[in-house]
Structure 1
Amino acid sequence: MRNHLKNLTLFLKGANFYRGIRLTSSILLPLILLYFLGYFQFAPAIVVGIFLNAPSDIPGSLKRKVNAILISIGLTVLITAIVLFLKPFFPLLILAITIISFAISLISVYGFRASLVSFSGLLAMVLAFAAEKTTHTDILLHLALISIGGLWYLCISYIFQLLVPKKDETQLLSDTLNLIGEYLNLRARLLTKKSKREALTQQAFLLQTQINEKHETLREVFHSERKKSGRSHYDEKQLLIFISSINIFELIEAKQLDYKELDRLFSDRKHYLRPAKKLNKILGNHLIRLSELLIQNKKIPNKNPLLKSLAKAKKIISIYVEDITLPKAREGALALQNLYDYQEQLLAEIRSIRRVMANVKDASSVSLKRQDASQFLTLQEYHPNVLIQNLSFKAPLFRHALRITVALVFAFVLGTILDIQNTYWILLTIIVIMRPNYGLTKERSKNRIIGTFIGATVAICIVLITQNVIIYSVLAIISLTLAFALMQQNYKSAAALITINVIFIYSIITPNALQVIQYRVIDTVIGASISIFANYLLWPSWEVNNLKHVLLEALQKNKTYLLATKDLYHNKTNNQLAYKIARKESFLAISNLNAAFQRLTQDPKSKQKEFQLIYNLTTLNQTMISATASIGSFILNHKTTPPSKEFDAVIDRVINTLQMSRAILQNVPPNTLKDAIPIDDAQKNLQNAFYDLGVKRDKNIKKGNIEINTKTLHQLQEAYLITSQLNWLKTLSENLKKATIRYNKIINEDNI
């Protein structure tokens, strides 16, 4: 019960519920005002204008938000005008629907915010069919009122932004910390759950993608804030938490462990890994709790459980050495020590977040160069070339535009022939449900139908119990607010609440509410069915065929990141910024690859060709980036020795192998570079360097020098980590090349 109350409190205090209140308020205020002024007949068109232009109001920079809403207003008014003026001319209307549907759908090539403007345009076309306007005067008045509604919503959104300017940022930060906490918990399970690693790894792909998306939005928000004349203390706190969240995520990514190696070292000694596993869970749960406290503004929890768990993870290293004894215990001890160092760094970042949230004075200032920060932004390109490049049958969004156009035209013609009462409900269902890939369309269709049935059932029960208009009005307002609040979190519940809202509004207008319910359910089922069949039959975009360009990008960013890590090792002072930018871009590239793999899992089983091969390609790319991050993280956080020529030789070999994999995918002859020194000799020399340090340490132990000094420990850690990770990277790159050859062969055979 307590947990449910906590979740309810978080929901009511969160930005999603606040967004629902904002939209409901923008609708109710003109309704009430126009009612008392005696101009209520103008209210429906204004409400339509609000509905049409609200989708573009998403978290991000205020400038982009305002621009998106203004573009949306202009687009929706233009489309509404075209449809209303062409209604009497059926052939021209069909032509207009075709052109509008295709052209507006293609706007989505310019990113997520543009896709919402595209949705508003399609929504305007659909809702125009519901408007009974016959004369030019009525049409022009309707267009003017829609414009007023859009501008009114823009004003309301701006006022709410002024009243609570940091609501969206706080929610984004909270969601990010929560996701990272879940990711840490999942990584804890990966440590010892050998039989479940494949399933857990697939879950990790999804979490990585979600975290990267949150970070990208937050980068945009904070960069826009930095352009203002100054930042408040609260801004500084938010920025510090954001930076720590990035550091934590990148530390986690840097510790993508070689689980086969851990299984070898601790195959029958899993109990030595349990303190590290427990610490990961405690750290993850603590982050989740901090994410909740960002919304609740309550006292932060005690740090003692964190410190005690860290001490146990430290102590287990000594116990392991005592039990196994040196030199046999050296590899395992160094593996545990590296794991401990990583978790200690995680705890340091979490404690930084704690200090910021506790308003500790020395944690309230941060300074970043504006020109440096701007380089971390992934800017959306709005050049016409982006659209031109997507005017190809090979482009998934081009095929989606064709698909949704055919589906909408078919549904409209079908509704006209069968004289369906509310054809626009079918069209509305199609534009809400249809997505570029089959899996998401199917999932949304299922949720939409189930939600509609649930909403209809609830509404029927209430309508049968009472015919009180006041109750209908109150429930319509509540359901509308909750529907908008849950739209992104739980689409099934949102669909149920929207159905309840529509039915109660019709119940107020007309006494025949049960007939409305019947039509609502039937039209939803028809629209959902058309969406699913269109996605499956009309130029389907199966993810297995769209993966090639995502793989090419991941390989390129992997290579660039590895090269930046090499440069960092040579000169830490001058190359940190370039390294961090390369790291960020590689994480985004692998996030896109992970997202593509997730879409593949949603396709029909019969279309998931070579699923295991693609899973291996995704995992190998992910693991390579993590292995590179592990080297980079160690270099950044420790004083290192000068890099050897053997280090450079192995790195160059791995980079060359990655380049060969790209060439294979591009069907061009690979360019093989000659090794500076024989690669086997380089690996052997690196291994000998680590062995020599071990021998030296063993001699000191025999002399009675049991305690190891920090310098010697770091040298051993560096030699062990660099040697093991380089050997691992070389093996991974070779396996990746083999998998790429197999994948490219399959793709080429399919294209013959």
Structure 2
Amino acid sequence: MKKKLKQLELFLKSSRFDRGLRIGIGITLPFAVLYFLGYFEYAPAVVVGAFLNAPGDIPGSFKRKVNAILISIGLTMVITTLILFSKPFLPLLLLVIAIITFAVSLISVYGFRASLVSFSGLLSMVIAFAIQKETAQEIFVHVALMGIGGIWYLVVSFIFQKLAPVKDQNQLLSDTLLLTGKYLKLRAKLLTRKNKRNARFKETFVLQNQINEKHETLRETLLTARKRSGRSRYEEKQLLILLSTINIFELIEAKYLDYERIDGIFGAHKEFLKASKKLNKIMGNHLIRLSEILIQNDKVPDKEILINALSKASKSITNYINTVKLPEAREGALVLKNLYDYQEQLLQEIKTIRRVMANVKEASKVSLKREDSSQFLTLQEYRLNVLVQNLSLDSTMFRHSLRLSIAILFAYSLGFVFDIQNTYWILLTIIVIMRPSYGLTKERSKDRIIGTLIGAAIAVGIVLLTQNVVVYAILAIVSLIFAFALLQQNYKSAAALITISIVFVYSFINPDAFEVIQYRVIDTVIGSTIAVVANYVLLPSWEVNNLKQVLLNALKMNKNYLLATQELYQDPSKNKLSYNVARKEAFLAISNLNAAFQRLTQDPKSKQRQFQLIYEIVTLNQTMVSAIASIGNFISNHTTTPASIEFHILMKKIANTLEMSFDSLDHTQLHKKVAEETAEDAQEKLLDKYQQLSNLRDENINQGHLELDTETLHALQEAYLIANHMAWLKSLSENLKKATEHYRASIVDDQETFY
């Protein structure tokens, strides 16, 4: 019960509920004010205007939010005007529907915010079918009032922004800490649970993508905040938390361990890994608790449990050495020591977040030049050529726009021929659930139908209990607020609440609530069926055919990240910024590849060609990013020896292998090569360096020098990590090249032959 109450508290204090309130006030207040002033006939148009322009109100840059809503207002006004004037002329109306649906849905090529503006435009087209205006004067008055409603919602959003200026950012930071905590706990499970690793790996893909999306939105919000006046103290604190969460994410990525090697090293001694695993779990739970505190404004929890867990992880290294004995224990001890160092760094970042949240005055201040910070922003390209480039059947969005246009025309024609009472409900269902990918459309369709049935059942129960219009009005408002609050978090519940709200709103127009419920359910099922069937048969866009560009970008960014790490090794102070930017780009690229793989898993089994091969490619790319991050993290946090010639030779070999994979997939000619025997020789020399240091340490032990000084320990750690990770990267790049060539031969070449 206590847990449920805490979840309710977090929800009511969240920016999601805040957004539901904004929309609720934006819709209900004009109704109430115009009713009491005696101008109720103007209320529906104002309310529609407010409702239509709410989607663009999402977290991010305030300037971009305002621009999105203003563009949405203009777009919805124009579309409504066109539909209302075309309604009396069926051929013209069908043409206008087709043009609007195609053109407006194609706006989504400009990114997520643009897709919400596009949704507002499509929604205005559907709602226009429910509006009965005959004369030009009535139409223009209605459209003008819609514009006023849109401006009114913008004012409401602005007021909420001023009243709680940091709520969206806090929610995003809270969500990021929550996801990062879950990710850290999931990675802990990979350490010892050998039989469940494949399933866990697939779970990591989802979390990585979600975390990267949060990081991108937070960068946009915090790095562009108050450029002219400078950041406030609170924004400084938020940026510190963001930077620490990004560092934690990189550290987690950097320890994407060679689990097969670890299994071989520890064998029957897996119990010595349990302390490290438990520490990860405790730190993950601590991050989750911190995410809750950001919303609840509670006290920061005690850190003793973290310190004790770290101490136990340190003792497990000594226990392992005492049990297995040197020199046999050296390799395992170095693995545990590297793992401990990484966890110690994680704990330092968590402590930074704790200090910031506890308002410790000594918490370090962010020093980031404006020109440097701009390099971490992923700017959306809004030029016309982006749209032009997508005017091709090769474009997923172009196919989606055509498919949606045909589905909408078919649904409207179906309603016209069979004289369906509320055809626009069918159109609304199609617009809400239809997505570029079949899997997501099918999933949303299922949630929509189930949610509608649940909402209808609840509405029937309420109607049977009471016929009180006051109760209906209250339920309509409350359910609408909660529906919008849950829309992104739980679509099924949101669909149920929207159904309840619509049923009771329509009860004021049609006293027979059961008839309203019946039509709502039937129209939802019809619309969902059309959307799913259209996605399957009309210019289907199967993810297996869309992976090429995503994979090419991942290969390119992996190579750039590898070379940036090489430069970091040469001069850490000079090349730190370029390394961080390359790291961010590589993480985003692998996140996009993971997201594409997730969409692939949602496609029908018959359309998942070469599934295991694609999974191998995704996993190899992911592992490469993590192996590179591991080297970069070690260089960033330790004083290292100068990079050897052998290191540079292997780096060049790995980079060229990645380039060969890219060129093979892109059908371009490779000009540079590194002789295999040269690379093999360099690999042996790196391993020999570690072996020499290891032998020297054995001699010291034999002579009675048991104490290990820090300099020797770091030298051993560096030699071991560099030698093994470079060999690992070389092997990964070669396997990736083979897998990529197989992918090109079995999928890409067949696809190009087909076209």
Alignment of 1:395-410 (within 5 A): 395-410=395-410
For 2:80 and 2:22, locate their aligned partners in 1 and report how far apart those are by CA, in whole Å.
25
Deviation (angstroms), 1:29: 1.3
After TM superposition, the score normalised by the length of structure 1 is 0.99
For 1:104 and 1:551, locate their aligned partners in 2 and report how far apart those are by CA, in whole Å.
29
Contact 1:126 1:424 in 2 (8 A): yes
Q: List per-residue Cα deviations over 1:69-117 (Å, max 9, x = no partner).
A: 0000000100000000111111000000000000001000000000000
The aligned residue for residue 706 of structure 2 is 706
The alignment partner of 1:655 has SS state of helix
Q: Which amino acid aligns with 1:106?
A: L
Contact 1:426 1:526 in 2 (8 A): yes
The aligned residue for residue 479 of structure 1 is 479
For 1:303 and 1:424, locate their aligned partners in 2 and report how far apart those are by CA, in whole Å.
57
Q: List per-residue Cα deviations over 1:510-535 (Å, max 9, x = no partner).
A: 31111000000000000000000000
The aligned residue for residue 522 of structure 1 is 522
Contact 1:649 1:676 in 2 (8 A): no
For 2:679 and 2:94, locate their aligned partners in 1 and report how far apart those are by CA, in whole Å.
66
The aligned residue for residue 113 of structure 2 is 113
Contact 1:649 1:677 in 2 (8 A): no
For 2:226 and 2:598, locate their aligned partners in 1 and report how far apart those are by CA, in whole Å.
35
The aligned residue for residue 345 of structure 1 is 345
The aligned residue for residue 355 of structure 2 is 355
Q: List per-residue Cα deviations over 1:245-277 (Å, max 9, x = no partner).
A: 000001101111000110101121110110000
The aligned residue for residue 639 of structure 2 is 639
In the comparison of the two structures, how many residue pairs are matched?
752
The aligned residue for residue 648 of structure 1 is 648
Contact 2:545 2:751 in 1 (8 A): no
For 1:710 and 1:695, locate their aligned partners in 2 and report how far apart those are by CA, in whole Å.
17
The aligned residue for residue 551 of structure 1 is 551
The aligned residue for residue 56 of structure 1 is 56
Q: List per-residue Cα deviations over 1:406-452 (Å, max 9, x = no partner).
A: 00000001000000000000000000000000000000000000000
The aligned residue for residue 288 of structure 1 is 288
Contact 2:109 2:386 in 1 (8 A): yes
Percent of residue pairs identical: 64
The alignment partner of 1:706 has SS state of coil
For 1:51 and 1:525, locate their aligned partners in 2 and report how far apart those are by CA, in whole Å.
24
The aligned residue for residue 261 of structure 1 is 261
Contact 1:236 1:364 in 2 (8 A): no
The aligned residue for residue 607 of structure 1 is 607
The aligned residue for residue 65 of structure 1 is 65
After TM superposition, the score normalised by the length of structure 2 is 0.99
Q: Which amino acid aligns with 2:332?
A: G
Deviation (angstroms), 1:17: 0.4
The aligned residue for residue 161 of structure 1 is 161
The aligned residue for residue 727 of structure 1 is 727
Q: Does 2:205 align with 1:205?
A: yes
Contact 2:456 2:521 in 1 (8 A): yes
The aligned residue for residue 32 of structure 2 is 32
For the structure 1 residues 364 and 691, does the alpha-carbon distance in structure 2 shift closer, same or farther, using more than 3 Å as the test?
A: closer
For 2:388 and 2:47, locate their aligned partners in 1 and report how far apart those are by CA, in whole Å.
36
The aligned residue for residue 335 of structure 1 is 335
For the structure 1 residues 296 and 364, does the alpha-carbon distance in structure 2 shift closer, same or farther, using more than 3 Å as the test?
A: farther
The alignment partner of 1:225 has SS state of coil
The alignment partner of 1:361 has SS state of coil
Q: Which amino acid aligns with 1:305?
A: I
The aligned residue for residue 233 of structure 1 is 233
For 2:154 and 2:633, locate their aligned partners in 1 and report how far apart those are by CA, in whole Å.
45
For 1:562 and 1:364, locate their aligned partners in 2 and report how far apart those are by CA, in whole Å.
30
Deviation (angstroms), 1:232: 2.1
The aligned residue for residue 752 of structure 2 is 751
For 2:634 and 2:522, locate their aligned partners in 1 and report how far apart those are by CA, in whole Å.
60
For 1:358 and 1:156, locate their aligned partners in 2 and report how far apart those are by CA, in whole Å.
32
The aligned residue for residue 683 of structure 2 is 683
The aligned residue for residue 275 of structure 2 is 275
The aligned residue for residue 419 of structure 2 is 419
Contact 1:660 1:671 in 2 (8 A): no
Contact 1:601 1:608 in 2 (8 A): yes
Deviation (angstroms), 1:226: 4.2
Q: Which amino acid aligns with 1:751?
A: E
Deviation (angstroms), 1:674: 3.2
For 2:509 and 2:351, locate their aligned partners in 1 and report how far apart those are by CA, in whole Å.
57
The aligned residue for residue 564 of structure 1 is 564
For 1:181 and 1:16, locate their aligned partners in 2 and report how far apart those are by CA, in whole Å.
21
For 2:680 and 2:173, locate their aligned partners in 1 and report how far apart those are by CA, in whole Å.
47
Contact 2:656 2:674 in 1 (8 A): no
The aligned residue for residue 42 of structure 1 is 42
Contact 1:233 1:364 in 2 (8 A): no
Deviation (angstroms), 1:364: 5.5
The aligned residue for residue 80 of structure 1 is 80
Alignment of 1:357-376 (within 5 A): 357-363=357-363, 365-376=365-376
Unaligned runs of 5+ residues in structure 2 are none
Contact 2:26 2:156 in 1 (8 A): yes
Deviation (angstroms), 1:482: 0.2
Contact 1:52 1:123 in 2 (8 A): yes
The aligned residue for residue 576 of structure 2 is 576
For 1:228 and 1:127, locate their aligned partners in 2 and report how far apart those are by CA, in whole Å.
41
Contact 2:26 2:51 in 1 (8 A): no
Q: Which amino acid aligns with 2:482?
A: L
Deviation (angstroms), 1:677: 7.5
The aligned residue for residue 183 of structure 2 is 183
RMSD: 0.9
Deviation (angstroms), 1:676: 10
The aligned residue for residue 321 of structure 1 is 321
Q: Which amino acid aligns with 2:136?
A: H
Q: List per-residue Cα deviations over 1:307-361 (Å, max 9, x = no partner).
A: 0000010001011111111111111000000000000000000010001111111
Contact 2:510 2:516 in 1 (8 A): no
The alignment partner of 1:153 has SS state of helix
For 2:536 and 2:93, locate their aligned partners in 1 and report how far apart those are by CA, in whole Å.
27
Q: Does 2:392 align with 1:392?
A: yes
Q: List per-residue Cα deviations over 1:553-612 (Å, max 9, x = no partner).
A: 000000000000001101111100000000000000000000000000000011011100
Contact 1:241 1:353 in 2 (8 A): yes
For 1:664 and 1:365, locate their aligned partners in 2 and report how far apart those are by CA, in whole Å.
47
Which range moves more in the overlay, 701-710 or 545-554? Answer: 701-710
The aligned residue for residue 132 of structure 2 is 132
The aligned residue for residue 597 of structure 1 is 597
For 2:474 and 2:364, locate their aligned partners in 1 and report how far apart those are by CA, in whole Å.
45
For 2:24 and 2:43, locate their aligned partners in 1 and report how far apart those are by CA, in whole Å.
14
For 2:662 and 2:511, locate their aligned partners in 1 and report how far apart those are by CA, in whole Å.
66
Contact 1:593 1:618 in 2 (8 A): yes
Unaligned runs of 5+ residues in structure 1 are none
Deviation (angstroms), 1:749: 2.6
Q: List per-residue Cα deviations over 1:441-483 (Å, max 9, x = no partner).
A: 0000000000000000000110011011111111111101100
For 1:15 and 1:474, locate their aligned partners in 2 and report how far apart those are by CA, in whole Å.
22
Q: Which amino acid aligns with 2:625?
A: I
For 1:617 and 1:678, locate their aligned partners in 2 and report how far apart those are by CA, in whole Å.
27
Q: Which amino acid aligns with 1:148?
A: I
The aligned residue for residue 462 of structure 1 is 462
The alignment partner of 1:327 has SS state of coil
The alignment partner of 2:377 has SS state of coil
Alignment of 1:295-306 (within 5 A): 295-306=295-306
The aligned residue for residue 622 of structure 2 is 622
The aligned residue for residue 221 of structure 1 is 221
Contact 1:649 1:675 in 2 (8 A): no
